[in-house]
């Protein structure tokens, strides 16, 4: 599948020249100390050279926004530095805290550009100044068709690729508990739109005439405000910036949050176990990306059948009378229709999407359930399951006999470990496939 987002490896090449402003004024001079009244000797030339030496390394290695000092210490004296730009189309200056100025570079630019960053050095109230020009060239390695810079009003699919499950999963625009609901079927994917906001983008889906935005929210736990953030669809939205790692990131309270998952859950999640933070980046993580609907890879009817057959399952041991639901449509591809048959209706009677089990009284029985998967355009396929139906009384424990307590869940089988955590029984999950 075509990779639609390109990492940004922007390069800045800079050189500087020292330029005098107010040439009739001295670069070397003296000011009276306001408190002692003594003469203070200052050296603008030396301070300007010190500014260059302290700044050129930062600028030459910058691949995105970077910070420069508003004050330079030289030969025991502090000099003020005022910053300016030759152009502000692709670069802007933002005054920051703690004596810093941020040079905000449009790292997602699809064209190369040059700019001159000038630091003007002065000392105290003296009118003399010395300017240092940094002539910078920004080389853009982002193609104009890459989707790290989405276009407002254009519909995209938001997706992630999970290598462990070999799936491409698309956001449906709904919630599933604490998770963004996702689907492997692109026909069920929601159209996601981008809206420029705060030097980034807000992402939303349309629900009728209403826009529902991806939003990070703080939450309360044990009386404390946490910034692990919940992800919701709300009417406000959180601005995200494209991150060179390949994610959409938002800054909240000096923490970086990414849209994506680093667990095996088939979701974009806000939970503690599967919501990405910057410090958790690694090889097992799956960032949320964007693609155009027309770039969705074609999935043949035969491929859909094969995937649904592989994923189809049912209970293989039965210990009590009762009904169990059977899948009647594909989990990932709803256009796959599934029907069921039993070779022993007395013990396992199939009726549409359920099977009713009746325990035998004399001995365990093995029943064959056959699932037929069909989709328009290709021949149906079948999958057989051998189900062991235990005789009556098999589930009644015998005194002084050791047993394992367990429960079957969608992710596998949980065995009781004999521990409690926050008032809940804990167990080790053993995946059954």
Angle at 134 between CA 47 and CA 106, to 5 degrees: 130
Using an 8 Å Cβ cutoff, are 138 and 9 in contact? Answer: no
The rounded distance, in Å, linking the Cα atoms of 80 and 57 is 20
Residue with tokens 């037929």: 372
**Which pLDDT score, from 0 to 100, does residue 19 have?**
44
Per-residue pLDDT of the chain (433 residues; tens, 9 = 90+): 333 333 333 444 554 444 434 333 334 444 545 555 556 788 999 999 999 998 988 887 676 788 899 999 999 999 999 999 987 788 999 987 778 999 988 877 777 888 999 999 999 888 899 999 999 888 776 666 667 788 888 999 998 876 666 778 888 888 876 677 888 888 889 999 999 987 789 999 998 889 999 887 766 677 776 655 567 788 888 888 887 666 788 877 667 777 776 554 444 444 333 343 434 444 446 777 888 888 888 889 999 999 899 989 999 999 889 999 999 999 888 889 999 999 999 999 999 999 999 999 899 999 999 999 999 989 999 999 999 999 987 766 667 767 777 766 545 566 666 666 655 666 555 544 3
The rounded distance, in Å, linking the Cα atoms of 268 and 258 is 10
Cα dihedral 101, 112, 242, 196 sign: positive
Long-range contacts of 48-56 (CB under 8 A, 24+ apart): 48/18, 48/119, 48/121, 48/130, 48/131, 48/132, 49/18, 50/74, 51/79, 51/81, 51/119, 51/121, 51/132, 52/16, 52/18, 52/132, 55/119, 55/132, 55/134, 56/14, 56/16, 56/134
**Which pLDDT score, from 0 to 100, does residue 10 have?**
40
Q: For residue 249, give every residue at least 6 positions away whose Cβ sits within 8 Å of its Cβ, in sequence order, or none.
A: 240, 241, 242, 243, 256, 257, 258, 278
**Which pLDDT score, from 0 to 100, does residue 281 have?**
43
Using an 8 Å Cβ cutoff, are 369 and 387 in contact? Answer: yes
Claim: this prediction has a pTM higher than 0.75: no
The rounded distance, in Å, linking the Cα atoms of 362 and 70 is 89
Domains and CATH numbers, the chain: 11-139 (no CATH), 157-295 (2.80.10), 301-396 (2.60.40), 399-433 (no CATH)
- Phi, psi values for residue 93, rounded to 5°: -110, 135
Segments in 250-375 forming alpha helices (H) = 301-311
* Beta strand 381-389 pairing with 317-318: parallel
What six digits make up the tokens of 178? 């604490």
**Which pLDDT score, from 0 to 100, does residue 151 have?**
86
What six digits make up the tokens of 288? 């949320």
The residues with which 122 forms a beta bridge, in sequence order, are 80, 129
For 327-378, where are the E strands, in sequence order?
337-342, 348-351, 354-357, 365-374
**Which pLDDT score, from 0 to 100, does residue 280 have?**
42
């Amino acid at each position: 599948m075509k990779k639609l987002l390109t990492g940004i490896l922007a390069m800045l090449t800079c050189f500087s020249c020292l330029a005098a402003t107010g040439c009739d004024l001295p670069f070397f001079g003296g000011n009276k100390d306001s408190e002692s009244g003594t003469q203070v000797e200052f050296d603008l030339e030396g301070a300007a050279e010190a500014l260059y030496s302290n700044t050129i390394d930062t600028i030459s290695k910058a691949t995105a926004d970077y910070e420069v000092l508003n004050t330079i210490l030289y030969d025991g004296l502090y000099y003020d530095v005022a910053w300016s730009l030759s152009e502000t189309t692709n670069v802007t200056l933002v005054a920051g805290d703690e004596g810093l100025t941020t040079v905000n570079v449009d790292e997602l630019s699809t064209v190369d550009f040059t700019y001159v960053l000038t630091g003007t050095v002065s000392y105290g109230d003296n009118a003399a100044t010395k300017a240092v020009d940094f002539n910078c060239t920004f080389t853009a390695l982002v193609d104009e068709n890459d989707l790290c810079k989405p276009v407002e009003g254009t519909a995209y699919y938001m997706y992630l690729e999970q290598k462990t499950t070999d799936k491409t999963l698309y956001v449906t625009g709904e919630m599933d508990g604490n998770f963004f609901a996702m689907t492997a079927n692109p026909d069920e994917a929601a159209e996601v739109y981008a809206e420029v906001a705060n030097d980034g983008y807000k992402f939303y889906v349309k629900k009728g005439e209403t826009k529902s935005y991806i939003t990070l929210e703080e939450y309360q736990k044990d009386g404390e405000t946490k910034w692990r953030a919940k992800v919701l669809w709300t009417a406000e939205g959180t601005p995200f910036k494209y991150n060179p790692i390949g994610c959409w990131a938002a800054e909240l309270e000096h923490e970086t949050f990414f849209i994506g998952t680093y667990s095996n859950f088939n979701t974009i999640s806000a939970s503690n176990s599967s919501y990405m933070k910057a410090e958790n980046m690694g090889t097992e993580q799956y960032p949320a990306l964007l693609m155009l609907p027309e770039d969705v890879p074609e999935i043949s009817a035969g491929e859909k059948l094969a995937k649904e057959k592989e994923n189809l399952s049912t209970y293989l041991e039965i210990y009590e009378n009762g009904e169990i639901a059977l899948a009647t449509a594909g989990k990932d591809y709803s256009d796959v229709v599934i029907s069921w048959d039993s070779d022993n209706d007395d013990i396992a009677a199939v009726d549409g999407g359920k099977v009713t089990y009746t325990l035998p009284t004399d001995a365990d029985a093995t029943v064959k359930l056959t699932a037929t998967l069909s989709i328009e355009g290709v021949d149906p396929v079948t999958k057989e399951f051998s189900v062991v139906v235990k005789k009556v009384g098999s589930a009644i424990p015998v005194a002084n006999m050791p047993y394992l307590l367990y429960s079957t869940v969608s992710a596998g089988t949980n065995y009781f470990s004999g521990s409690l955590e926050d008032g809940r029984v804990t167990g080790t999950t053993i995946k059954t496939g």
